[in-house]
Chains A and B, each alone.
Chain A
Amino acid sequence: MTADKEKRRAISRDAARRRRRVESEVFEDLSRLLPLQPSVRAHLDKPSVIRLTLSYIRMHTLLTGDTRTRAEASHKVKCGRVMNGGEERGECDGGREEGEKGTEEVEASEETNLYLRILEGFLIVLSTEGDMIYLSDNVSKYMGLTQNELMGHNIFEFTHPCDHEEIRNNLRLTAEDVCCGAKRDFVMRIKSALTHRGRSANLKSATWKVLHCQGRAKVCVAPSSVSCLLLTCQPLPLSHTLLSANTFTSQHSMDMRITFCDQRMNLLLGFSTEELLGRSIYDLCHTLDINNLTKNHLNLCIKSQSVSAQYRMLVRGGGYVWVETHSAVIPSVRPSKSRPGAHQPLCILCVTYVLSGVEEPCLQLSVDQIVHT
């Protein structure tokens, strides 16, 4: 009896081994077809191969669907030629031949690198369920995890639980998005496996990094295509900011009242320090920008860092300037001789970029601007 059983077991073991071998071969074939570096390919396990294959197929569907619609739209008046891959190219330089595709790749890659450097972030393509279909490969610089480790996984695995609701809201596509070009702009916290020296550490000892995500939702009605979110994610802030002549820093208590301002703030806004201390930033901005500032304030309180959209700050004597503020909540300092005052546990530090000149300088909008003669 047992010999028979043994024999059957042996047969089934062999069959299983054969099956596994065949399966492994298919996996090998699959991974060879993916555009990966050999060193990366060698270390992929099976689920990862499937993950990356999925990502590839989804991205392909996304892009071909997109180029088809772009080709149909008649934006271009000049000689637009639909080349292979569907990309509209070939302005007056006579179009490109196959052989030049290589150069164009290089050019595209340089341009992309420049973009990513200026934007100081990485690109992420999210499905409506939150799957990270694609990430640009510089993500490792900001998160300590490589593109291949992240692609195909779900963003909710890497983001702060308190931000999930907001992320979900942003992933959701509304009717308005379909017709009016869906913009997205929000702040979220993501795990970063970078140490402060810039090396990759374990994800277990990951810290939270605050990301500013901007982009748009791409809505696809066609069933074969995939609706998704295209976002550039920018960590904020840098620990060192180079300040130019048009930036100033200010320190605020948690309710956004100014507790300290630097000289440039006086220069750029025209108010003296005495006039500014104790004033709430909400008083000093244009009324119509209040919602924007409130959102910024909330993000700050909850996520400890934020960047405002552009808003207007009133200038003494009349008019306003457009500014953008990067803020962070920091543990406060003990009062010293140069800074007497009560000790607060927390305060807000803002770096504000002045984006425009003084607009409408003759317009006195607020009680602060009245020049008393």
Chain B
Amino acid sequence: MSAGGSDGTADRQTDLAAEEEGPNQAGSSLLAVDLPRKRKGDVEERSGTHVQHSVDFQLDDDLCGSEEDDQQVKIKCFREPHRQIEKRRRDKMNNLIDELAAMIPACLPMARKLDKLTVLRKAVQHLKVLKVDTSSAFTNGIHKPSILPQDDLRHLLLRAADGFLLIVSCDRAKVLFISESVSKILNFNRFELTGQSMFDFIHPKDINKVKEQLSSSESPRQRLMDAATGVQVQLDAPLKPPHLSTGARRSFLCRMKHSRLAGKQEDQPLLPCPPKKKEAYRYCTLHCTGYMRSWPSSQLDSEGDAEKETSNLTCLVTVCRLLTHVPDQPPKGVSIKPSEFVTRCAIDGKFTFVEQQATTVIGYLPQEVLGTSCYEYFHQDDLRHLAEKHRQVLRSKEKIETQCYKFKTKYGSYVSLQSQWFSFTNPWTKEVEFIVSSNRVVSRGPTHTKEEEMGDSKELQEDTKQLPIIPGLSSGVGTMIYAGSIGTRIANELLDSYRMNSSPSSGASSPFGPAQEKGPLVSPQTSNSASSREEAAGSSSGSRSDSRTAADAGSATSERSGEPSQLDLDSVVVPGLSSFSSDEAAMAVIMSLLETETNMGQSGNFENLHWPF
């Protein structure tokens, strides 16, 4: 044993000698050394000291079996790593001291580095100045001391969760408790709302929905689901009514009144007008999540509602948070630009989704265009360039901008649009599933007159014989059929390219994409996607494959000029994953599964699961 030359270790010698070895408890990436289980406060440091002093104990071979080899090696040459371990420990201590010095105001102005003892002494002084409250925690013995006073913790929680706590009774939706943070979110003082009925400050249209959530009219059978296995179990005879059981989750959206105080600086100066109707209020959408709970009413109900005093009050305990996850949701009251709308098409150009704003632009209701090919509405002059863009977008991960083109409205006239297209690829199969188009109206130049517009449509009607020649497509019969078939042909090209791609080298292909450098599209892969698409869903996901041809790599943009329009497994940096074959990829997912909590409940035998659906 060293003669206590290094700091602090001598103190520990006697302690360690007394301790027995326990199971492993290595804190981090340091040596996997056995640590005595008792010392929970010092996960890392034990390793250094332990090895140094444990020579005598290791020979007892009281260790976990898996570490034996390592230990033997360490015993043999403990002098070697000993120095390094000590050095590492010293370095760590010095780093900590430096960090401490950086945080203490008294230590900062010093020119040269302070020694350890001085820093520690200054730290003691500093803590005294901060008046760390160690005593109050013990006065009533109810709660245990913590690094932070509870108030600060609550404050932090609210900052993080950005919400407020709301407890309402289930029978009349009376607000039993609402936390202070509501003032930040709804601009109401909490005491204005406590004791009120919740229905008074939620949007009238949401009242029924919230009533439903508060009600106890639960299905008589309680369903439990094991998320690890998907096994659903129905409890036939619940011990107590489901709505009273703690833990019945509720999660819903509702709109609450949002008061705009006249005194707020950040608002635009508005004349305060008395709200005539409920609609005059602004509402904000909140996501409320929580549980049903039985609460002894005496604790919370400070209103002293004498006649309704029951021993058990059922209420809903929720945290209400502002709904922030929807980037596309315009705040209420802001008008969406009527000249922009989003549509979605299958890969052959047939509309599968049309936003409601489209009607104001194209005249058609969504249901009138759904299922029809977009090519039927494009002006002849634009067919060629749009077909080219169509081809392009199916093979690119980028957003493709079209030029301005004319779109036929319901009334026969044309409107000028310009669109951004991008193809959505399924992250797992890497196949294009559909194309999303974000369209906006382009106002034509000031020289445009009504006559021009009329002229255009007339032209179209007369000009059915002159069909533009689009490379790769033979001309069909009739305008409509021709137009519609353009899309189908382009789509078939893509599907054929999926089918025909073969790379003799890589027999299996990876749903995670082949190894690739950022930029150029990928090398060819075996594919059976077209046929597998037609198979029932549920065919082996392992054989789904990637599908970009080398030819396509040439045509599409090779560098990512803009941001990728869609997240992709390839663009997520996952070291090593992108080079897996499909089997390996599936195995990687299985491995990560086995590592995670969901499988803790598994008996390990997956074969015997039944689906009682």
Contacts and interface: CB of A to CB of B under 8 A. Distances in A.
B230 A330 contact: yes
A192 B600 CA distance: 12
Interface string B164-194: 0100000000000001000110000111000
A58 B226 CA distance: 41
B27 A153 contact: yes
A366 B370 contact: yes
Given A17-B4, A108-B151, A115 B41 contact: no
Contacts of B405: none
B80 interface: no
A5 interface: no
A137 B365 CA distance: 56
A111 B165 contact: yes
A266 interface: no
Interface in B120-169: 120-121, 123-124, 126-128, 130, 132-134, 136-137, 139-140, 142-162, 165
A309 B325 CA distance: 6
A91 B190 contact: yes
Nearest to B326: A310
A290 B436 contact: yes
Contacts of A145: 43
Interface in A74-109: 74-78, 85, 87, 91-93, 101-102, 104-106, 108-109
Contacts of A243: 223-225
Contact of B156 (A57, A123, A205, A258): A123
B161 A119 contact: yes
B151 A87 contact: yes
B340 to A, nearest CB: 12
Interface stretch (B89-97, B393-401, B406-414, B454-462): B89-97
A249 B230 contact: yes
B601 A102 contact: no
Contacts of A35: 132-134, 137, 145-147
Interface in B411-446: 424, 426-429, 433-434, 436
Given A207-B596, A244-B248, A370-B367, A331 B590 contact: yes
B232 to A, nearest CB: 7
Interface string A230-256: 111001011111111110010101111
Contact of A30 (B120, B137, B230, B366): B120
Contact of B154 (A111, A207, A210): A111
Interface string B507-529: 00001100000000000000000
Contact of A44 (B41, B121, B263): B41
B356 A363 contact: yes
A192 B597 contact: yes
A115 B25 contact: no
Interface in B232-259: 232, 245, 247-253
Interface in B12-59: 12, 23-29, 32, 38-46
A146 to B, nearest CB: 6
A357 B206 CA distance: 9
B501 interface: no
A111 to B, nearest CB: 6
Nearest to B148: A59
A36 B557 CA distance: 61
Contact of B152 (A22, A63, A93): A63
A303 B597 CA distance: 11
A345 B265 CA distance: 59
Interface string A315-336: 0000000101010111111101
A311 B326 CA distance: 7
A346 B589 contact: yes
A174 interface: no
Contacts of A355: 251-253, 287
Given A57-B130, A328-B228, A336-B610, A51 B290 contact: no
Nearest to B232: A249
B97 to A, nearest CB: 7
B540 interface: yes
A277 B535 CA distance: 12
Contacts of B611: 260, 333, 336, 338-339
A14 B106 CA distance: 31
A35 B149 CA distance: 9
A43 B41 contact: yes
A46 B46 CA distance: 11
A47 B92 contact: yes
Interface in A203-243: 203-205, 207-210, 214-216, 218, 224, 230-232, 235, 237-243
Given A204-B25, A253-B539, 6 more contacts: A45-B45, A123-B153, A244-B249, A309-B325, A333-B230, A343-B540
11 contacts: A24-B11, A45-B41, A125-B156, A240-B227, A262-B613, A277-B536, A292-B325, A333-B610, A356-B209, A367-B353, A368-B352
Identify the 4 closest CB pairs spanning chains A and B, nearest first.
Answer: A196-B600, A309-B325, A45-B42, A257-B537
